[in-house]
């Protein structure tokens, strides 16, 4: 690069304010330094820096030490624009040609830039409100936000750009700022994560701990962190903390040496003010940094810069600290990732726990409701079972009565006939009819009650399909008690873990109290102690996270156990419901079979009743026939009696013919006996209401043996009460005594030589065919 080009560029920066925008920026600096009478020293400085600029490449390679001494003494302000560009190699950058195109584009950070421009050098004339300085500052910041979209815009960078615009036009300022961001670690400082700023704070704090231990202990006691006062030093290179001339001198050195000068100047400031800072509290120290220190530097920067280069700065140790900080941050990032993962899992577990708790509460409500409903259904089932037992008992009684009726019918069917005539009475038939009606009524009532019970059973079974029985309820209660016990154990374990965490925290606090004076030890021991402390903190956090995770897992396990228990309960309830349904099906089939049997029995009973009615009608018809025959016989006997009386009268008149007449009568009586024997087989059983004829009565007596009819004139004079008891008891015959309708005792005398009683009727003895009846006519 030729000297003429550099001087030409410098002459552009020294033009008056009424020129172009570039000339207006540089004129503010040149106006303070240009004068008509330059001293001899200034002339030598001009010549020297002119030669350096002209021979820059050779000076930078061969005379590095002399260049550093000159820069530390300060770059003449009219050479700063050229020298700064040369120091950062910002001349002839390709991005300079893109500047005008970048200004035409739109940046997402424009609002932020506009907001912060008014707070950048507010007291400087060049950056007054609505001035040209604010416009060019906005242009440079906007252009860089478009070039580096990752950084975009960050507060504090505007002060550096503002200082550059005070020395050079906006295109050159933009190029220099780009090089500063790329090559001077400023880009890492201004990234959203600000990782480089954290590294600088870590290194600076270590240097304070090593070089100023008393002040470091005081800062720790007051909880006065390094970032509270030193972060702006690194972000703005002291431009917001020191007076502008002092900050500009420090910026000269920064352009050559980088951030090392910031560490040196910061430690020098602390060394110079250590005595005052130790006596102040946190608020006092903040006021001291903001007001007292800038006022001390108004006299000039030479004292601070001299003290800065007396500070021990070890580049190798700084590299080592950088590695340590990177390792610590890596571990912290891993821990943060793990903690974030654990928090996410914990949040998911809490959500699942909430869901399971809601489900558990719902299941508990359902269980309680089911128990209440089950109790009600059990009570109703008990009542229904009692009614069903009553109905069954009634049905059994009806069945027994029906069987008794059937047995009676079978006995009546199997009973031997009285010489072919069944021995049924009207009373027995009426009694059977009444019993039949009662049996039918009871059967109808039993059918109605049975149908009601079946309906109730079906209704109860429908409601019981989703309910467990008493045994399963007891089992569910036992499982619930076991779950509660496990939950209590888990809570106890959780309390123990929390107690362990609290013990670790107390141990940690005691450890901090014991190591309060550790900064008086060597820096290596202090760093090791700090790492051990951080490791202990990490372990504490890890223990807490493990405790929370263990608690969450225990809770999840308990809830899963409860869920499984409830699932088993529901499955058992479903199985029991299916068992009830099968049982109801079996009972229904049994009821159907019983109903079919009952219908068959009813049918048979109806058939038997029809047969009985037919037999009763036949018996009554035969009785009517027998009555008619008996009436004819009675009439015939009456006629014979009349003839006998007439025969007696005639016998009295004609004694010779009486014996013959009596024999004729006996023959006729024998014929009548034969007819009566014939009627014997056609007579019905015993009749409750026997018809009475004219002065003829029929008396029935039960006799065990076959009967024989006896009639004689000797028997005619005897009544049944005059019979021999042995003869009557042994013969067991039925006597039919015929009393004539005509009383001829007064007209006829006792003329019968055979011993017949004239006043008595005819006695007939009739055996009743196996029945024990004694009949007297």
Report strand pairing: 762-765 vs 735-738: antiparallel
What is the helix (H) or strand (E) element at residue 737, kind and residue range?
strand 735-738
CA distance 35 to 42: 11
pLDDT (average), residues 95-118: 90
- 572 — pLDDT class (breaks 50, 70, 90): confident
Q: What is the pLDDT of residues 162-201, one digit of tens each?
A: 999 999 999 999 999 999 999 998 999 998 888 899 999 9
Q: Which residue has the higher pLDDT, 252 or 731?
A: 252
Residue 425 contacts by C-beta under 8 Å, 6 or more apart in sequence?
A: 685, 686, 687, 688
Collapse the DSSP code of 608 into the 3-class scheme (helix H, G, I; strand E, B; otherwise coil) and give the result.
helix
Tens-digit pLDDT profile for residues 394-448: 888 888 888 887 788 777 777 654 444 445 566 766 777 777 777 778 778 777 8
Task: Report how far residue 307's alpha carbon sits from residue 301's, in angstroms, rounded to the nearest whole number.
Answer: 10
Following DSSP, what letter does each residue of 230-279 receive, concatenated? HHHHHHHTTTTTS-HHHHHHHHHHHHHHTTHHHHHHHHHHHHHTHHHHHT
**What is the Cα–Cα distance from 345 to 717, expressed in whole angstroms?**
131
On whether the CB atoms of residues 237 and 247 are closer than 8 A, the answer is yes
pLDDT of residue 508: 66
Band (pLDDT 50/70/90 cuts) for residue 704 is very low
Decide: 84 and 176 in contact? Cβ < 8 Å.
Answer: yes
pLDDT of 321 > 60? The answer is yes
Q: What is the enclosing helix (H) or strand (E) of 169?
A: none
Mean pLDDT of 144-157: 90
Number of helices (H), then strands (E), belonging to the chain: the values are: 28, 2
Q: What is the pLDDT of residues 1-54, one digit of tens each?
A: 333 333 333 333 333 223 333 333 333 233 333 333 444 556 677 888 889 988
Cα 397 vs. chain centroid, distance in angstroms?
Answer: 54
List beta partners, residue 776.
Answer: 699
Whose CA is closest to 475, among 406, 575, 542, 547? 575
Q: DSSP code of 765?
A: E
CA atoms of 404 and 381, how far apart (whole Å): 33
The angle subtended at Cα 711 by Cα 708 and Cα 716, nearest 5°, is 140
Q: How far apart are CA 664 and CA 658, in angstroms?
A: 10
Q: Which of 78-87, 229-238, 632-641 comes out lowest in average pLDDT? A: 632-641
d(CA 439, CA 479): 54
* DSSP 3-state of 736: strand
Give the per-residue pLDDT at 475.
Answer: 67
Helices (H), 654-695: 658-680
Q: Burial, 230: exposed, middle or buried (Cβ in 10 Å; 0-12, 13-18, 19+)?
A: buried
- Tell me, what DSSP letter sits at residue 592? H
Q: What pLDDT does residue 159 have?
A: 93
The pLDDT tens digits of the residues spanning 669-692 come to: 888 888 777 776 655 444 444 444
Instruction: Give the pLDDT of residue 467.
Output: 55
Which residue pairs from 717-724 have beta carbons closer than 8 angstroms and sit at least 24 positions apart in sequence?
717/755, 717/756, 717/757, 717/759, 717/760, 718/757, 718/760, 718/763, 719/760, 720/776
33 compared with 205, residue with greater pLDDT:
205
Whether residue 166 contacts residue 137, with contact meaning beta carbons closer than 8 Å, is answered with: no
Structure pTM?
0.45
- Measured between its terminal Cα atoms, the distance across the chain in Å is 180
pLDDT of res. 556: 76
The answer to whether 648 touches 758, Cβ cutoff 8 Å, is yes
Average pLDDT over the chain, rounded to an integer: 75
At the fourth CATH level, which superfamily is domain 193-313? Ypt/Rab-GAP domain of gyp1p, domain 3 (1.10.472.80)
pLDDT for 512-556, tens place per residue? 666 555 444 555 556 666 666 677 767 667 777 776 777 777 777
Listed in sequence order, the residues at least 6 apart from 289 whose beta carbon sits closer than 8 Å to its beta carbon are: 229, 241
Could you read off the pLDDT of 706-718 as tens digits, one per residue? Answer: 434 343 333 434 3
pLDDT digits (tens, 9 = 90+) for 444-483: 877 787 788 778 777 777 766 655 555 666 666 676 676 6
Q: If you count them, how many residues does the chain have?
A: 777
Positions of CATH 1.10.472.80 in the chain = 193-313
């Amino acid at each position: 690069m030729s000297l003429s080009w550099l001087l030409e560029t410098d002459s552009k920066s020294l033009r008056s304010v009424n020129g172009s925008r570039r000339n207006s920026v540089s004129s503010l600096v040149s106006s303070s330094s240009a004068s008509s009478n330059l001293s001899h020293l200034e002339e030598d400085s001009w010549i020297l820096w002119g030669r350096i600029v002209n021979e820059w490449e050779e000076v930078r390679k061969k005379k590095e030490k002399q260049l550093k001494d000159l820069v530390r003494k300060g770059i003449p302000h009219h050479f700063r624009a050229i020298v700064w560009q040369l120091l950062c190699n910002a001349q002839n950058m390709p991005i300079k040609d893109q500047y005008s195109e970048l200004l035409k584009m739109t940046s997402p950070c424009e609002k932020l830039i506009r907001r912060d421009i008014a707070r950048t050098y507010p007291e400087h004339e060049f950056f007054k409100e609505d001035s040209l300085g604010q416009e060019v500052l906005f242009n440079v910041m906007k252009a860089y936000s478009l070039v580096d979209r990752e950084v975009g815009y960050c507060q504090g960078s505007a002060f550096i750009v503002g200082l550059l615009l005070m020395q050079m036009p906006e295109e050159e300022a933009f190029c220099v700022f780009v090089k500063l961001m790329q090559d001077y670690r400023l880009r890492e400082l201004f990234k959203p994560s600000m990782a480089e700023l954290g590294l600088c704070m870590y290194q600076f704090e270590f240097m304070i701990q090593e070089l100023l231990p008393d002040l470091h202990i005081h800062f720790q006691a007051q909880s006065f962190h390094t970032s509270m006062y030193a972060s702006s030093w690194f972000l703005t290179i002291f431009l917001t903390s020191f007076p502008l001339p002092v900050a500009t001198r420090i910026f000269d050195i920064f352009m050559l040496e980088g951030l090392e000068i910031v560490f040196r100047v910061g430690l020098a400031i602390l060394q110079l003010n250590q005595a005052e800072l130790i006596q102040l509290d946190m608020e006092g120290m903040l006021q001291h940094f903001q007001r007292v220190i800038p006022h001390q530097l108004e006299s000039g920067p030479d004292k601070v810069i001299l003290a800065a280069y007396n500070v021990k700065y070890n580049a190798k140790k700084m590299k080592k600290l950088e590695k340590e900080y990177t390792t610590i941050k890596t571990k912290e990032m891993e821990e943060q990732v793990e903690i974030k993962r654990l928090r996410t899992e914990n949040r998911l577990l809490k959500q699942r726990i909430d869901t399971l708790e809601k489900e558990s509460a719902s299941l508990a409500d359902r269980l309680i409701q089911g128990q209440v409903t089950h109790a009600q259904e059990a009570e109703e089932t008990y009542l229904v079972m009692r009614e069903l037992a009553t109905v069954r008992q009634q049905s059994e009684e009806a069945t027994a009565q029906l069987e008794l009726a059937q047995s009676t019918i079978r006995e009546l069917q199997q009973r031997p006939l009285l010489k072919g005539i069944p021995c049924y009475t009207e009373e027995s038939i009426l009694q059977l009819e009444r019993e039949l009606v009662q049996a039918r009524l009871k059967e109808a009532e039993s059918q109605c009650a049975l149908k009601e019970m079946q309906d109730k059973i079906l209704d109860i079974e429908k409601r019981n399909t989703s309910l467990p029985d008493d045994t399963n309820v007891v089992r569910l209660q036992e499982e619930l008690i076991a779950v509660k016990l496990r939950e209590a154990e888990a809570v106890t374990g959780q309390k123990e873990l929390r107690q362990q965490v609290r013990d670790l925290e107390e141990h940690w606090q005691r450890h901090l109290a014991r190591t309060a004076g550790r900064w008086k030890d060597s820096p290596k021991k202090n760093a090791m102690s700090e790492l051990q402390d951080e490791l202990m903190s990490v372990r504490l956090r890890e223990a807490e996270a493990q405790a929370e995770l263990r608690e969450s897992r225990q809770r999840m396990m308990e809830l899963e156990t409860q869920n499984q228990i409830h699932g088993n309960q529901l499955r058992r309830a479903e199985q029991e419901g299916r068992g009830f349904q099968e049982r109801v099906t079996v009972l229904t089939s049994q009821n159907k079979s019983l109903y079919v049997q009952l219908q068959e029995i009813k049918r048979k009973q109806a058939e038997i009743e029809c047969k009985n009615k037919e037999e009763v009608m036949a018996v009554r018809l035969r009785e009517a026939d027998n009555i008619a025959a008996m009436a004819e016989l009675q009439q015939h006997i009456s006629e014979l009696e009349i003839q006998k009386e007439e025969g007696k009268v005639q016998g009295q008149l004609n004694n010779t013919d009486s014996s013959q007449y009596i024999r004729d009568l006996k023959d006729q009586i024998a014929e009548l006996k034969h007819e009566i024997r014939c009627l014997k087989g056609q007579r019905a059983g015993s009749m409750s209401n026997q018809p009475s004829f004219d002065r003829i009565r029929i008396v029935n007596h039960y006799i065990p043996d076959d009967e024989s009819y006896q009639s004689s004139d000797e028997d005619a004079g005897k009544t049944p009460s005059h019979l021999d008891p042995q003869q009557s008891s042994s013969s067991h015959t039925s006597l039919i005594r015929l009393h004539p309708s005509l009383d001829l005792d007064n007209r006829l005398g006792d003329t019968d030589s055979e011993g017949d009683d004239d006043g008595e009727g005819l006695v007939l003895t009739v055996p009743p065919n196996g029945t024990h009846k004694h009949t007297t006519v």
